[in-house]
Amino acid sequence: MAGDDSLSEKRRLVRFEPHDPENPQNWPQWRKLLAWLPIIPVDLCVSFGASGYSPATTKFTQAFGVSSEVGILGLSMYTIALALGPMLNAPLSEYYGRLPIYIISYALSLPFYVGCALAPNLGGFLAMRFFCGLFQSVTIAALGGTIADLYTAHHTGYPMSVFLWAAVGGSSIGFFLLSFVAQYRPWYDIFWALLGISGGCWGVMSACLLYCGETRHSVILRRRANRLRKQTGDTTFDVPDDYRRTDFSTLMRVTQTRPFRFLLHEAIIFMGALYNGYLYGISFLLNGAFTLVFGPHGHGFDTLHIGLCFLGIAGGVTVGPLTNILQEQYYQRRVRAVDGANVPEARVMMGKIAAVTLPISLFWFAWTTYSFVHPAVPIVATALFGWSFYTILLMTYTYTEDSYKQYSASALAGLGFVRNILGGGFPLFGNQMFENEGYQWAGSILAFLSLVLVPIPFVLDRYGFELRKRSPWAREHLDEKGGQIAEDAGGEEGPAQA
């Protein structure tokens, strides 16, 4: 557990020993599942909070006497807050641990649902939406890290596929579920429903996490070192430098700036951010586009039946974790072939297929939006879009985690920032584009732009190793075996200074 280390001024460094029961990666499977599966419904509720508002947009604009463009701000403000929230939650998680951040941050978001429902004016409503999203972003900031705490690098594939299912599918599922409320109740009842659903999921999550305990390795080891110092009176007990608590101001500086350095200097992150941002932008843009295509000016559906149309996307996303079983089997074969070495390029096999099917799905949707075409035809197209959307995002997440390991939290934060900024921005022009260009050409524009992104997984497969070798962050892990993903130590600059 602890030993003398002459290179660290005779500090007695506290580490996890093999089979250490306090190491979350050594927990029994049931405890590991209990430590992350209850977070999945909460993560779904984060997406519900975004798209769940969309079915009530028309009633909202009528109640406040504003235009539909202004009404869309209720979605955009929340989504933009999701982009900014991890900048606060991530350093707090490093400083205090994941457990209190999950419970406290999400709890702080719940009163803002009350504020949304009771807001007397537009300004107050948008402020409530922003702060609700800001505190709800905790799952975006921490859930990937929790999975990395519990599983070694070569065994994160299946848990990550479930996490991404919630993150990707929650938007369409939320629109579908809340359309039942929006059809028959006033707009503000959407937020009372969200409060009930989110509050219930938060309660279950909190109970499970309190039972399982903290998962962040650095926090567990710091607590162990403190306990040993108190029990023995020996002040030389300490943790390795990477796990020491960093000064909070330094931690904030690194966590606020490093994701943007990744975006600007890392080709892998830049390409992943393009895909993440574009796909999330389309997914939220479709909230308004579906209302046009399937609503009164298209197929004549009411709010509830428009919500049912989102089951196409939800179904396609749900097929994603099943096809990921094939991807994971392929990945494990590649890993065994190189004796457990780090092979992020083995993560992109299914992504190459999805990159091709994405523009196909968008062209298919675009040219079957005519009112004389049976609505099932474009809905099937959106199912293919949902599968492509999920598969590509899973590829970018797993490839990034495998490539950057101890720096993956910062790398993924860069992806998440772009994803949610564009997710909030696309709806602001989506309706106008579909109305001005026509449904068919507006959808075709989205499809043509997706064609530009098709080469990305092929480039990662062919040139990924060279790109990682040129990266000051990723090249540290070129020859690593698939062991533990280290903490993204906030205060340790490492190659960032190169």
* 3-class DSSP assignment, residue 3: strand
pLDDT exceeds cutoff 50 at 498: no
Q: 36: which residues sit within 8 A by CB, 6+ positions away?
A: 143, 146, 147, 150, 159, 163
Q: What is the pLDDT of residue 495?
A: 32
Whether the Cβ atoms of residue 487 and residue 98 lie closer than 8 Å to each other = no
pLDDT exceeds cutoff 70 at 92: yes
pLDDT digits (tens, 9 = 90+) for 177-205: 999 999 999 999 999 999 999 999 999 99
Q: At what angle do helices 122-136 and 39-51 cross, to 10 degrees?
A: 160
pLDDT exceeds cutoff 90 at 331: yes
User: Tokens representing 289?
Assistant: 């586009």
pLDDT digits (tens, 9 = 90+) for 45-79: 999 999 999 999 999 999 999 988 899 999 999 99
Q: What is the pLDDT of residue 259?
A: 86
Cα distance from N-terminal residue to C-terminal residue, the chain: 34
Q: Where are the domains of the chain?
A: 20-225+245-478
Q: What Å distances lie between residue 361 and 4, 33, 173, 328, 357, CA to CA?
A: 60, 35, 19, 24, 6
pLDDT digits (tens, 9 = 90+) for 103-127: 999 999 999 999 999 999 999 999 9
pLDDT band at 481 (very low <50, low <70, confident <90, very high): low
pLDDT digits (tens, 9 = 90+) for 334-355: 999 988 888 999 999 999 999 9
For residue 172, count other CB atoms closer than 10 A to its CB. 29
pLDDT digits (tens, 9 = 90+) for 405-450: 878 878 888 888 999 899 989 998 988 999 999 999 999 999 999 9
* 3-class DSSP assignment, residue 65: coil
Select from 405, 180, 399 the least CA-distant residue to 308: 180
Q: What is the pLDDT of residue 64?
A: 92
Write the DSSP symbol of residue 121.
S
pLDDT exceeds cutoff 70 at 483: no
- Distance CA(475)–CA(495), nearest Å, equals 10
User: Tokens representing 197?
Assistant: 């659903």
Q: What is the pLDDT of residue 410?
A: 80
Secondary structure element (H or E) that encloses residue 14, with its range: strand 11-14
Q: 266: which residues sit within 8 A by CB, 6+ positions away?
A: 411, 471, 473, 474
- Distance CA(350)–CA(360), nearest Å, equals 16
Whether the Cβ atoms of residue 413 and residue 86 lie closer than 8 Å to each other = yes
pLDDT exceeds cutoff 70 at 4: no
pLDDT digits (tens, 9 = 90+) for 358-384: 999 999 999 999 999 999 999 999 999
Say if residue 236 is exposed, middle or buried (CB neighbours under 10 Å; 0-12, 13-18, 19+). middle
Phi and psi at residue 352, to the nearest 5°: -65, -40
Q: What is the pLDDT of residue 476?
A: 80
Q: What is the CATH number assigned to the segment(s) 20-225+245-478?
A: 1.20.1250.20
pLDDT exceeds cutoff 80 at 327: yes
- Distance CA(25)–CA(147), nearest Å, equals 10
pLDDT exceeds cutoff 50 at 489: no
Identity at 251, one-letter amino acid code? L
Q: What is the pLDDT of residue 253?
A: 78
